């Protein structure tokens, strides 16, 4: 991995990031560390998980 970059995983609801976590090269994180509070939402929503390299 190029220096200065880290992996970022995020939960996206309706195009808006609701939770994120970062992981540096050579480390591991469990996805159970990633949770978004959506208790106030009701109805149908588009939900996704995004994994990208970002500047650390």
The tens digit of pLDDT for each residue in 20-55 reads 999 988 888 887 778 999 999 999 999 999 999 999
User: What global pTM score does this model have?
Assistant: 0.79
The half-sphere exposure of 31 on its side-chain side, counting CA atoms within 13 A, is 6
- Residue 20's pLDDT is 94
Domain range enclosing 46: 5-55
Domain count within the chain: 1
Closest Cα to residue 6, out of 46, 44, 52? 52
């Amino acid at each position: 991995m190029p220096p200065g970059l880290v992996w970022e995983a995020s939960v996206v609801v309706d195009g808006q990031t609701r939770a994120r976590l970062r992981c540096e090269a050579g480390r591991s994180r469990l996805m159970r560390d990633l949770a978004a509070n959506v208790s106030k939402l009701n109805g149908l929503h588009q939900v996704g998980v995004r994994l990208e390299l970002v500047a650390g």
